[in-house]
Amino acid sequence: MQLQLRLGNDAIDVTDAVRILGVLVTPDLCLDKHVTAVRAKCFFQLRQLRRVRRSLDDVSVATLVHALLRVA
pLDDT tens figures, 31-43: 888 888 888 988 8
Amino acid at residue number 38: V
Band (60; pLDDT cuts 50, 70, 90): very high
Tell me how far apart the alpha carbons of residues 60 and 5 are, in angstroms, rounded to a whole number.
50
Domain membership of residue 28 as a residue range: 4-71
Whether the predicted pLDDT of 54 surpasses 80? yes
The span from the first CA to the last CA of the chain, in angstroms, equals 36
- Please state the domain count of the chain: 1
Whether the predicted pLDDT of 72 surpasses 80? no
pTM, to two decimals:
0.58
Mean pLDDT in residue range 4-21: 85
Whether the predicted pLDDT of 57 surpasses 90? yes
